[in-house]
Amino acid sequence: MSNKSNRKVALITGITGQDGAYLSKFLLDKGYIVYGAVRRTSSLNTIRLTELDILKEVKLVTMDLAEITNIQRVILDIEPDEIYNLAAQSFVQTSFDQPIYTSEIDAIGVTRILETIRMMGGGIKFYQASTSEMFGKVINSPQNEETPFYPRSPYGVSKLYGHWITVNYREAWDIHACSGILFNHESPLRGSEFVTRKISIGVAEILKGHRASISLGNLNAERDWGFAGDYVNAMWLMLQQEKAKDYVVATGKAHSVREFVEKAFNVVDITIEWIEDNGIENGHCKKSGKILVDINKDHNRPSETDHLLGDASKAKKELNWQPKINFEQLVEMMVKKDLIRLESNG
């Protein structure tokens, strides 16, 4: 298949995820032809593409990052101008249970795509989704492009390989390949296994009487949380630069899980009061006294990354990128969307 259209062609791996959906919408609005790589599965989840009303506009193709001949065939067929590799086993806790699968997709899968680009002459621009989890055990704060990495999970370690192999192919083969070191970015499309959505869904269900409380782990873990819709703009900007570089993408403001909980309940006019009982601090409704947030240490990671704060000065200066949605707006957006979903589902 030869793309003779004047429109740019993009291939997005992980198109059914949060970032893939927002990036697809962004590129479609810019006039791109958008292909989305999906794994062959009996239960393809296209709910995010449907929610953004773009499912019929993207072209889905079957591609498995564990199989290089499949990758080569798809890329040869599509002839993309740009490839955005967003596919990953991206849940940190799961990576401790499935370390080999995580490394197969998040590390070696990146090499398979880059090697295919090299074999095709190196003309395709490549974006690798790196992550702030690569910083892990924080040595300097805030973290920027020069901060040493010290990943604290199989996910972080695998992503670090993906990051450095991207740098290596850029330098060794002169491929326009870059990594976006994205700090935590959330949205109403975030998976329900992530703590932010766990909280926003929990608040909505508590308000509607569907459950009594939310069970959480480490309240003091701090993250630099931004809006995913803002961050996909930075991905695109990186591939439009004359010279490929790596960039940190972040808001520059850190907030704790505790703060996220408090802000989320504030959206529905509930004030949380933290009361310690037998060494465990639970969140009580200040008005009724009921426990709405119960702390269970089983939710804690085997090795925790406590404080992540990004310095996106380079992206702001060279890409002219700025986050538009702040922390309070993000939390409110997520809680209100989950309330709407709950009401529409009866």
- Reported as a single tens digit per residue, the pLDDT across 280-321 is 899 999 999 999 999 987 655 555 555 789 999 999 999 999
Mean pLDDT of 190-201: 95
pTM: 0.92
Nearest alpha-carbon partner for 180 in 105, 236, 222, 111: 236
Secondary structure letter of residue 61 according to DSSP:
E
Residues 266 and 241 in one domain: no
Sign of the four-CA dihedral 181, 183, 184, 187? negative
CB 12 within 8 A of CB 24: yes
| DSSP letter string, 101-116 | HHHIIIIIHHHHHHHH
d(CA 271, CA 339): 18
Q: Residue 263 above 60 pLDDT?
A: yes
Examine residue 1 and state whether it is found in any structural domain, yes or no.
Answer: no
**Whole-number mean pLDDT of the chain?**
93
Residues 289 and 300 in one domain: yes
Whose structure tokens read 């690798």? 128
Give the burial class of 167: count Cβ atoms within 10 A of its Cβ; 0-12 exposed, 13-18 middle, 19 or more buried: middle
Minimum mean pLDDT range among 5-14, 163-172, 260-269: 5-14
pLDDT at 302: 57
Q: Residue 215 above 60 pLDDT?
A: yes
Residues 288 and 318 in one domain: no
Q: Residue 3 above 60 pLDDT?
A: no
pLDDT at 43: 66
| Percent over 70 (pLDDT), the chain | 95
Residues 46 and 172 in one domain: yes
Q: Residue 19 above 80 pLDDT?
A: yes
Examine residue 163 and state whether it is found in any structural domain, yes or no.
Answer: yes
Active-site residues, by number, are 131, 133, 155
Residues 107 and 202 in one domain: no
CATH classification of the domain holding 293? 3.90.25.10
Examine residue 132 and state whether it is found in any structural domain, yes or no.
Answer: yes
Whose structure tokens read 């300097």? 140
Residues 84 and 113 in one domain: yes
Q: How many domains is the chain partitioned into structurally? A: 2
CA 281 to chain centre: 29
Examine residue 238 and state whether it is found in any structural domain, yes or no.
Answer: yes
Examine residue 126 and state whether it is found in any structural domain, yes or no.
Answer: yes
Residues 88 and 115 in one domain: yes
| Percent over 90 (pLDDT), the chain | 80
Mean pLDDT of 245-267: 97
CB 246 within 8 A of CB 167: yes
Residues 135 and 108 in one domain: yes
Two tokens at 99? 């370390």
Two tokens at 93? 């806790």
Residues 178 and 199 in one domain: no
Examine residue 4 and state whether it is found in any structural domain, yes or no.
Answer: no
Examine residue 125 and state whether it is found in any structural domain, yes or no.
Answer: yes
Mean pLDDT of 250-277: 96
Where in the sequence is the domain holding 14, given as residue range(s)? 9-187+225-253+307-324
* CA–CA–CA angle 329, 331, 333 (5° rounding): 65
Residues 157 and 216 in one domain: no
CATH classification of the domain holding 90? 3.40.50.720
Whose structure tokens read 């992980």? 14
Q: Residue 33 above 80 pLDDT?
A: yes
pLDDT digits over 38-71, tens only?
A: 988 656 889 999 999 999 999 999 999 999 999 9
Q: Residue 209 above 70 pLDDT?
A: yes
* CA–CA–CA angle 257, 304, 13 (5° rounding): 80
Residues 298 and 161 in one domain: no
Q: Residue 344 above 60 pLDDT?
A: yes
Examine residue 2 and state whether it is found in any structural domain, yes or no.
Answer: no
Non-local (6+) Cβ contacts of 63 within 8 A are 13, 37, 38, 39, 70, 71, 74
Residues 92 and 237 in one domain: yes
Amino acid at residue number 308: L
Nearest alpha-carbon partner for 5 in 24, 25, 23, 32: 32
